[in-house]
């Protein structure tokens, strides 16, 4: 019996995989058969996606909060408020994002979502294949977002490579503590320990906020974060509604887009994390649109723009200074 075949396989149904699926089913390619495989049921609010926007996005309906100014807090506690001018800073909760896309996909007969671990992705010349817990599925194209930070070890004599660690707590306080109109992007009231460390606060209401700690090394995140909330922010009485965390690569390593004749890397694996900032969401949206345009125009997905020399230079410079900070 031959292996099940799909026009398009998405190996990984996280942010990049689901975004590409959303763009595909809202394009002239909407009737193509699509298989999405992920080893996790995406039913947790495991990431909060924020981005700067000066234009609409396809996900504006699920934006949870948006702001047009923000605070920066220096290590000495000096607060500066900045206006975002033509930009808005928008936040989408991961859980809303997953449900929004998955619910739309579930109604489509040509889309199959499968729970399972992808053991490997194979290039087979005129098609590609994935092996999911021993079972093979073939595809006209495979888009691979299966990135493992623990296996990412670029040659550090040639490339700068750091890990941006996040730990976030969504809390509800007993009394009002936050100004819902003003997020804090950088709160530097933490010992820098020879690297770059900061907290940020996304205020959802006067008593409800996400407080996230960002560091460049594995540390006792949760303890530091809880001490910051209690001792620096002065919030003693609160309950934790949700936790999130993870690690992103900050690097000038040139991630491969084309991983075979019929395999394309997307998301973090396709180099979508901007090394100077750690943001990826808007780049993932733009990349998905470019992949569709390439498929329509050329019959292959690989004609996507690479970063301009200006951004590469900024990223390289920032990678140097992030690294410099981390080296002390």
Closest of 298, 320, 275, 246 to residue 141, by C-alpha: 298
Nearer to ligand FAD, 76 or 311 (CB): 311
Work out how close the CB of 38 gets to ligand FAD at its nearest, in angstroms, rounded to a whole number.
4
Would you say 20 or 233 has its CB closer to ligand FAD? 20
Q: Cβ distance 159 to 251 under 8 Å?
A: yes
> Whose Cβ is closer to ligand FAD: residue 175's or residue 240's?
240
Considering the complex, state which of residue 50 and residue 173 has its C-beta at the smaller distance from ligand FAD.
50
At its nearest, how many Å lie between ligand FAD and the CB of residue 208?
Answer: 18
Supply the minimum distance, in Å, between the C-beta of residue 33 and ligand FAD.
19
CB of 131 to ligand FAD, least distance (A): 10
Backbone angles phi, psi at 48, to 5 degrees: -110, 120
CB of 72 to ligand FAD, least distance (A): 17
Can you give the binding site for ligand FAD, defined by CB under 6 A? Answer: 12-17, 37-40, 47-51, 117-118, 145-147, 166, 244-246, 248, 267-268, 279-281
Residue nearest to ligand FAD (CB): 14
For ligand FAD, give the closer residue by CB, 69 or 158.
69
CA 81/CA 69 separation, integer angstroms: 7
Least distance in Å: CB of 279 to ligand FAD? Answer: 4
Nearer to ligand FAD, 51 or 109 (CB): 51
**Nearest to ligand FAD of 160, 269 (CB atom):** 269
CB of 4 to ligand FAD, least distance (A): 17
3-state per-residue secondary structure call for the chain:
CCCCEEEEEEECCCHHHHHHHHHHHCCCCCCCCEEEEECCCCCCCCCEEEEEECCCCCCHHHCCEEECEEEEECCCCCEEEEECCCCEEEEEEHHHHHHHHHHHHHCCCCEEEEECCEEEEEECCCCEEEEECCEEEEEEEEEECCCCHHHCCCCCCCCCEEEEEEEEEEEEECCCCCCCCCCEEEECCCCCCCCCCEEEEEEEECCEEEEEEEECCCCCHHHHHHHHHHHHCCCCCEEEEEEEEEEEEEECCCCCCEEECCEEECHHHHCCCCCCCCCCHHHHHHHHHHHHHHHHHHCCCCCCCCCCHHHHHHHHHHHHHHHHHHHC
CB of 168 to ligand FAD, least distance (A): 6
Q: CB nearer to ligand FAD: give 17 or 275.
A: 17
């Amino acid at each position: 019996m031959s292996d099940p075949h799909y026009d398009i396989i998405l190996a990984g149904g996280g942010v990049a995989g689901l975004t590409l699926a959303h763009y595909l089913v809202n394009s002239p390619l909407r009737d193509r058969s699509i298989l999405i495989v992920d080893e996790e049921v995406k039913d947790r609010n495991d990431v909060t996606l924020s981005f700067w926007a000066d234009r609409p996005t396809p996900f504006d309906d699920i934006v949870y909060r948006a702001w047009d100014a923000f605070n920066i807090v220096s290590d000495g506690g000096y607060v500066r408020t900045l206006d975002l001018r033509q930009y808005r800073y928008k936040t989408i909760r991961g859980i809303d994002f997953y449900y929004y896309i998955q619910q739309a996909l579930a109604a489509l007969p040509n889309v199959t979502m499968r729970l399972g671990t992808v053991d490997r992705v194979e290039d087979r010349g005129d098609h590609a294949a994935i092996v999911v817990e021993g079972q093979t599925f073939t595809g006209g194209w495979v888009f691979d977002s299966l990135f493992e930070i623990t296996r990412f070890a670029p040659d550090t004599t040639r490339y700068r490579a750091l890990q941006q660690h996040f730990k976030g707590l969504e809390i509800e306080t007993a009394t009002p503590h936050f100004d819902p109109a003003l997020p804090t992007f950088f709160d530097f009231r933490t010992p820098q320990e020879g690297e770059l460390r900061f907290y940020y606060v996304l205020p959802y209401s006067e008593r409800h906020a996400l407080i996230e700690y960002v560091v460049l090394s594995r540390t006792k995140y949760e303890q530091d974060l809880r001490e910051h909330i209690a001792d620096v922010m002065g919030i003693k009485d609160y309950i934790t509604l949700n936790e999130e965390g993870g690690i992103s690569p900050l690097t000038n390593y040139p991630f491969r887009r084309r991983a075979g004749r019929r395999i394309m890397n997307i998301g973090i694996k396709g180099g979508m994390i901007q090394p100077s900032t750690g943001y990826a969401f808007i780049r993932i949206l733009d990349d998905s649109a470019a992949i569709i345009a390439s498929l329509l125009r050329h019959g292959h997905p690989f004609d996507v723009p690479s970063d301009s020399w200006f951004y590469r230079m900024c990223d390289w410079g920032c990678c140097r200074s992030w690294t410099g900070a981390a080296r002390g």
